[in-house]
Amino acid sequence: MCGIVAYVGPRDAYPILMKGLHRLEYRGYDSAGICLLNHDIRVFKCKGKVSDLEEYLVGKDISGTIGMAHTRWATHGEPNQINAHPHFSQNKKVAIIHNGIIENYSVLRSELKKRGFHFTSETDTEVLVHLIEDIMTNEKVPVEEAVRIALNQVVGAYAIVILAKDYPDKIIAARKGSPMVIGIGKDEFFVASDATPLVEYTDNVVYMNDEEIAIIERKAKLKIKTIRNKDHTPYIQKLVMSLNEIEKGGFDHFMLKEIYEQPRSIRDSMRGRLHIDQGIVTLGGIQNYEQKLINAKRIIITACGTSWHAGLVGGYLIEDLARIPVEVEYSSEFRYRNPVISEEDVILAISQSGETADTLAAIELGKAKGATVLGICNVVGSSIARATHGGVYTHAGPEIGVASTKAFTAQVAVLTLLSLLLAEKKGTIPKSQFQKILLALNAIPEKVDRILKMSEKIRDIANIYKDVKNSIYLGRGYNFPVALEGALKLKEISYIHAEGYPAAEMKHGPIALIDEHMPVVFIATRRGIYNKVISNIEEVKARKGKIIAIVTEGDETVKKLADHYIEIPDTEEILVPLLATIPLQLLSYYIAVMRGCNVDQPRNLAKSVTVE
């Protein structure tokens, strides 16, 4: 939520900041703004996207070799120009950009008003910049010290960057609960919400920790201290990311590119872990916790959104193969409902971004109660990856489309490996079945590739249903989470109301919705609870619902019942989610494009949900 980028060095800041903002736009796109500093401190901002800001800046003075920029996902105050970042302090000598929420902003705001400060915006952020000015004026301290004192009064989450007119060579950055990375080049520094804005300039990065303040000075060394005034030595790491990974590479949208990357990303998520030649699975990141997992009384999976759907598949897999009880929890509910957690529990937190605020809070809760907490994350060095005791990276590569696609299949692939590893160690599946599944898993990327070749047919179906207002997605067993994920994909990018439901539950309510205008997507693959799903299809057909079915290659029964069908290759029942999800991603994508929706940046959404 909200993207931040800043630069100081010998180059013009403007092109670096704008390119950075475009890369970070997936984090929010309600408004955008920029601050440049040379003799003067100038702020330009407007409602809308980064391209609107670029247009707005034509003919304006955009010179300067130090600056910062922001793209906003609104929390406090509607998305308009006044509420856009950067925000100035009252004397217009200090400017701030912020990602996060200042929870005690109304108390601070009242106090500052009493001290004569006037507020122009409705944001929580403006409070912080006035507070910094107040401290600088009254306590006669330099800007970095004023920021430190101010942050001690703040309750909430923040990643901030501050520029001050009287400190024309200095960037102050700080974080708590919202991500921030610093890139170190030759005589230049970059600050950003993630590494995408700095990838072509440097591969030396420092991931800031909570409650750290970075003091970045032109031509000087980076200094980091805590808000309690303790010096920290910056831990410089090598960035593992390439420019290719974050560009569209000839596709119309990032989402489409990421859907098409899945044969590669699923393979990468298993590389060095699925050893077909030796017939074993290894997961280095959790090696030290294997015994803990094997002896766990219970595994709690916690996640949000699409990652929660992957968690549901994971729950089925772990119980099915490794016979360990699993509970799958929405992080946002789990953290507030006083759950019973013991030291014998293992919590698995799943997150693409590794920054989701509710999942982070669930992790902290689990740790406080003594549980072992492991992560399954995509973004290397993310907050969740660092907050957990151990974990497994999904290695899907950067996911930029706001709707999650390749991250989901990589999460499911990793959860499959984990379940197989535990099952093998516990001896809960016969060796022959274990080997059979390994071979089937190894063949998944090639089968995904075959499904992607059917895009033409999927596009034709999309064209028929692009104007519907409602839809239902039904599946049973391993295909129930697939139905939920298919429905989520459609609603979030095309704004068509879609409900995912367990197929058999339909007759307990949703069946009332079915008439000749209701498309019903059945995930009706042949393995698993097949015959019962056929009965459910008959029930919909009897009420004139339109049936789109995902079927196993060669299936004749469902094909005859369905109005439209998409065939996917056969595989083991437990692996079907890795295949059945793909045509549903494409179906949503084509429908959204045909409806003229912005698939990479759907309205009201942001990629990384760093607020509650």
Sites of contact with ligand F6R (CB under 6 A): 304-307, 351-353, 356, 359, 403-404, 488, 492, 608-609
Query: Which residue's CB is nearer to ligand F6R, number 101 or number 429?
Result: 101
Q: Give the count of beta carbons closer than 10 Å to the beta carbon of residue 389.
A: 18
Query: Which residue's CB is nearer to ligand F6R, number 74 or number 171?
Result: 74
Q: What's the one-letter identity of residue 341?
A: I
> Least CB distance from residue 502 to ligand F6R, whole Å?
20
- The number of CA neighbours under 13 Å toward the Cβ of 81 is 7
> What is the distance between the alpha carbons of residues 130 and 117, in angstroms, rounded to a whole number?
7
> Least CB distance from residue 248 to ligand F6R, whole Å?
18
The Cα-based distances of 556 to 106, 244, 526, 608 in angstroms read 64, 42, 10, 43
2, 304, 377, 597: which one is catalytic? 2
Query: Which residue's CB is nearer to ligand F6R, number 326 or number 609?
Result: 609
Using the 8-state DSSP alphabet, how is residue 404 labeled? -
79 contacts 47 by C-beta, under 8 angstroms = yes
Query: Which residue's CB is nearer to ligand F6R, number 304 or number 506?
Result: 304
Exposed / middle / buried, residue 542 (Cβ in 10 Å: 0-12, 13-18, 19+) = exposed
551 contacts 559 by C-beta, under 8 angstroms = yes
> Least CB distance from residue 32 to ligand F6R, whole Å?
22
> For residue 86, is the peptide bond before it cis, meaning its omega torsion is within 30 degrees of 0?
yes
Query: Which residue's CB is nearer to ligand F6R, number 159 or number 184?
Result: 159
535 contacts 504 by C-beta, under 8 angstroms = no
> What is the distance between the alpha carbons of residues 500 and 475, in angstroms, rounded to a whole number?
8
> What is the distance between the alpha carbons of residues 164 and 150, in angstroms, rounded to a whole number?
15
225, 406, 546, 607: which one is catalytic? 607
> Least CB distance from residue 180 to ligand F6R, whole Å?
17
Residue 423 corresponds to which tokens in the numbers above?
A: 């099952």
The Cα-based distances of 361 to 27, 103, 429, 507, 612 in angstroms read 20, 15, 35, 37, 9
> Least CB distance from residue 43 to ligand F6R, whole Å?
31
Q: Give the count of beta carbons closer than 10 Å to the beta carbon of residue 233.
A: 8
Query: Which residue's CB is nearer to ligand F6R, number 333 or number 553?
Result: 333
Query: Which residue's CB is nearer to ligand F6R, number 136 or number 597?
Result: 597
> What is the distance between the alpha carbons of residues 234 and 230, in angstroms, rounded to a whole number?
12
> What is the distance between the alpha carbons of residues 479 and 527, in angstroms, rounded to a whole number?
10
Which is nearest to 366 in space by CA: 300, 420, 427? 300
> Least CB distance from residue 485 to ligand F6R, whole Å?
8
356 contacts 331 by C-beta, under 8 angstroms = yes
Q: State the sign of the Cα–Cα–Cα–Cα dihedral 565, 571, 575, 579.
A: negative
Q: Which helix (H) or strand (E) holds 96?
A: strand 94-102
Query: Which residue's CB is nearer to ligand F6R, number 90 or number 588?
Result: 588
> Least CB distance from residue 605 to ligand F6R, whole Å?
8
- Reply yes or no on whether 35 is catalytic: no
| Size (the chain), residues | 612
> Least CB distance from residue 361 to ligand F6R, whole Å?
12
Catalytic machinery residues: 2, 607
